[in-house]
Chains A and B, each alone.
Chain A
Amino acid sequence: MDDLIAEFLTETAESLEVVDSELVKFEANPNERKTLDNIFRLVHTVKGTCGFLGLGRLEAVAHAGETLLGRFRDGKLEVTSDAVTLVLHSIDRIKFILSGLESTGNEPDGDDHDLIAQLEAMAEGQAVDISAVQAVEVPDRPIGSEPDPILAPEVVQKEPERNLRPGEVSEAELEAAFAAAEAPDWMNEAVAEVEPELSVSEVAPAPVAAAPVAAKAAPTASDAPAPVMGEDNAIATTQSIRVSVDVLEGLMTLVSEMVLTRNQLLQISRTREDSAFATPLQRLSTLTGELQDSVMKTRMQPIGAAWKKLPRLVRDLSHELGKKIDLVMDGEGTELDRQVLELIRDPLTHMVRNSADHGLEPTAERIELGKPANGTVKLSAFHEGGYIVIRIADNGRGLNTARIREKIIEKALAPRNEVEAMSDQQIHRFIFAPGFSTAAKVTNLSGRGVGMDVVRTNIEQIGGQIDLVSIMGQGTTFTIKIPLTLAIVSALIVGAGGQKFAVPQTSVMELVRTGANAEHKIEKINDALVLRLRDKLLPLVQLGPTMQLEAAQSEDPTFVMVIQVGERRYGLVVNDVLDTEEIVVKPLAGILRSVQAFSGATILGDGSVVLILDPNALSEYAGNIIDEKSAEDGEIVVASAENEKVAMLLFKAGYGAPKAVELAHITRLEHIEVEKIERMDGRAALQYRGKLMPILNVSEGSGLMNEGIQPLLVFTGEGYAMALAVDEIVDVVEDSLSIELSPDRAGVRGTAVVAGRACEILDVDYYQFRGLAEHARKAPQTDSEAGKVAA
């Protein structure tokens, strides 16, 4: 394809995306002059470029559209819904022609007279018949989505002077319009494109914090849906360039390899005492970390990119269904890895469609019920820990619990007596169950009536979770939690059957020590293994025997990892917990993909390859026991959303912001004379209540005091204890805990304002895993002693 055409396709596709959402905004608020000027300019640009490239068909359609828009702009024509629909039709037509142009390099044959006639009639103020316009199927993939290389600059010649067509705008007039329309900030920037299909405005988003604020200030759909353009949120002009996605992907792979090599080096240096390498290696390690962060940043895209099509979708649905629907979007600037973004685009679209279609009542019914006539679908996104949380909420009728109950029984998804005993929350979750959907085929997400199980599967495939809360008559809220990136995950390295495996830490809820002398013993019901944990029975899967490893027969189970997958919870019995490690996930070769139990493989610091367990697939071995975690969890979400006050302990450790941890996690505070702390081999431990308790540092920069009294925070888990050494305990305060900044290192959940100060909130799980890893490392080989150390 001609370079010029390729460039044109990319740019036009970007412009059209913007026009789409701008038009919807415009329809809701026809007096918004700025919006109209913006649309006008974009359409005019498309037309101008078409003329220049000799694309007659496109130019004619764009011209007719522009003429109509010009009438609106001059105030000669009233903006009606029909008129906007007509303009949207012409945008669709343009997209259709563009996709033809993309695949063949030439404009496809076809006749646009139907459309142009209607556009002209509308512009003349005559009655039009929209149904006379043939709707075209717009290709789903954005045009120009192939990554295109950096193009050589072409000298664009000025359009030759010629006579104006009827309704055409002279250049002078245009200049005036351009001057009047405040140029959106992105126009001032050279464009950095992570991916050519992105609309320009979203590539350089407002600072993440600013975006939600802007959206909150204008909470109605009429203002919020479109990407904020030409608004007052000034974006600093930045220098940027276009880079193809391939280059970025390559860079990411290289950095991942580098992280692995760094890990190997660190592993080697740990075993050597003198090492002159220690300092430069530390520096290299930090630099690698920073490099990794920077490269990750280049892959980050605002989630708004996946929402772009939604205003138009909701508008069309609203017309089709005769419902008034407001779409509110909050947090479009929230960024996540582009790979993840691609994978959630379809499920999100599907869910918004569902909410608008099935969730919201028809307008008449709403009025009858005394609800606001306009139904609302609210999309919001924010960061929490290493996750992005996306909510899709509607204020519609809520799920029909009784109907779902019937359907579960009808489809025999669960026995009747169980179904009758289930809470509403448990019942609601069945909409995610395979086989619940009425749809005949569950292959393509873009179609209607496709089950939520496909959505759930897609989200779980990328390590995410989905849940819902539905209140009859008030609406349904779906909450999706997905990791920010798929490339690097933290994992627990466990041993079973003489082999090592990696388990993604995100699905591990807690670790329980078991064994002959431990408090928690594995019990048998018939042949099924279970663990009694806080008065509940946890179904167990033994890793070694499940993997059919012979060596597993002579092993004694030592740890149970409590694993949560969707609504299922089970225990994975392992022989050893060896370490935590940041791993780079590599997919398995094709020949191994039929083995469901593994989601990939990785190279550890010592150079060995370990397989990454897929907690989801392993849960199959635990049977379909749905435990009673249910309602309580839903309530927790609500509680934290309401910003309930939490008691927190403030303390100092190392440099940087003060740290805070929820008091509920801490078992005791201790002040210990430093001399009593025993140090061995670079690690510290304390004889505490007759057992040896490991003492961990909060971060690299902090450590034990040299003399005096050392304050310690003691944490206990199931059958073990560990302590964190801190510099100073500052205070205990009650405050609402809302994490505002995402974490910059492991062990921190993020930064929040506590008692008026920015504090880093500790991730207790992280330290407990580390503490456990210490236990395991320290524990001598015999079981009885291991029990003594930690039980």
Chain B
Amino acid sequence: MSIRDYVTLRVGGQLFGVDAARVHDVFHPRGLTPVPLSRSEIAGVLNLRGRIVTAVCARRRLGLGPREEGAPEPLAIGLEVHGDSYGLVIDSVDEVLKLDDEKFHAAPGNLPPRWAEIIVGVYQLEKELLIVLDPHTLLDAGHLKAA
């Protein structure tokens, strides 16, 4: 039995989790420079304390609709994949949860392919399901192309 920390976050009302060890920081994605000719998931590039971070919109990545009018300013979580810095733009960050591996389940088979490949598994929390995302496939160019 082992316990893991997860940063929980919301995108389009759904609760997601990312392994806390993978999350470098949480920030407001501001001063975005759009990248022309890139895929629609790419929100742009920005300067985060002297590093160039590529912001990826989680809603578009997951095939969800745009944010509602008047929604609070989005947040981004800083992740590193293949040595590159990324910011996954999300709606809000909830909290860090300690979860027991025993409550972990593989992703159900009836998910759309776009979701299935970026999901590590699911935790059954008391109120709802927590979907654990895999930053690697989420932000990998190869997987993005396939999506």
Contact = CB atoms under 8 A, between A and B. Distances in A.
Interface of A: 257, 260-261, 497, 499-500, 547-549, 586, 588-595, 597-598, 601-603, 607-611
A591 B86 contact: yes
B37 A597 contact: yes
A158 B111 CA distance: 71
Given A608-B33, A609-B52, A610-B33, 17 more contacts: A497-B36, A499-B36, A549-B36, A589-B54, A589-B84, A589-B85, A591-B86, A591-B139, A591-B141, A591-B144, A592-B42, A595-B35, A601-B45, A608-B47, A609-B45, A609-B46, A611-B35
21 contacts: A497-B36, A500-B33, A549-B36, A586-B52, A589-B52, A590-B140, A590-B141, A591-B84, A591-B140, A591-B144, A592-B35, A594-B141, A595-B35, A598-B35, A607-B31, A608-B47, A609-B46, A609-B52, A610-B33, A611-B35, A611-B45
B86 A589 contact: yes
Contacts of B109: none
A560 B82 CA distance: 38
Size class of the B contact interface (CB-based, 8 Å): 20 to 34
Interface centre among A257, A261, A549, A601 (most CB of B within 10 A): A601
B106 interface: no
Contacts of A500: 33
B96 to A, nearest CB: 26
A499 B139 CA distance: 25
B47 A257 contact: no
B133 to A, nearest CB: 15
A790 to B, nearest CB: 28
B85 to A, nearest CB: 7
A590 B84 contact: yes
B66 interface: no
Nearest to A593: B141
Nearest to B138: A591
Contacts of B86: 589, 591
A592 B54 contact: yes
B103 interface: no
Given A260-B50, A608-B47, A611-B45, A591 B56 contact: yes
Contacts of A548: 36-37
Contacts of B42: 591-592
A548 B34 CA distance: 11
Interface in B99-147: 139-141, 144-145
B81 interface: yes
Nearest to A501: B36
Given A591-B86, A591-B141, A609 B47 contact: yes
A759 B33 CA distance: 44
A384 to B, nearest CB: 32
B52 A603 contact: yes
Nearest to A586: B52
B2 interface: no
B16 to A, nearest CB: 19
B50 A609 contact: no
A592 B38 contact: yes
B34 A499 contact: yes
A611 B145 CA distance: 22
Contacts of A590: 81-82, 84, 139-141
Nearest to A264: B50
A195 B46 CA distance: 34
Nearest to A602: B52
A548 B46 CA distance: 20
Looking at B33, B36, B84, B140, which has the most chain A CB atoms within 10 Å of its CB? B36
Interface in B75-95: 81-82, 84-86
Contacts of B33: 499-500, 601, 608-611
A589 B39 CA distance: 13
A546 to B, nearest CB: 8
Contacts of A499: 33-34, 36
Contacts of A598: 35
Most chain B Cβ neighbours within 10 Å, of A260, A588, A592: A592
A500 B85 CA distance: 22
Given A589-B84, A590-B141, A595 B50 contact: no
B54 to A, nearest CB: 4
Closest 5 CB pairs of A and B: A547-B36, A589-B84, A589-B54, A609-B33, A609-B45
Contacts of B145: 594
Given A590-B84, A591-B42, A591-B141, A607 B47 contact: yes
Contacts of A611: 33, 35-36, 45
Contacts of B47: 603, 607-609
Contacts of B31: 607-609
Contacts of A610: 33
A593 B47 CA distance: 18
Given A607-B31, A608-B33, A591 B54 contact: yes
Nearest to B31: A608
Interface string B15-34: 00000000000000001011
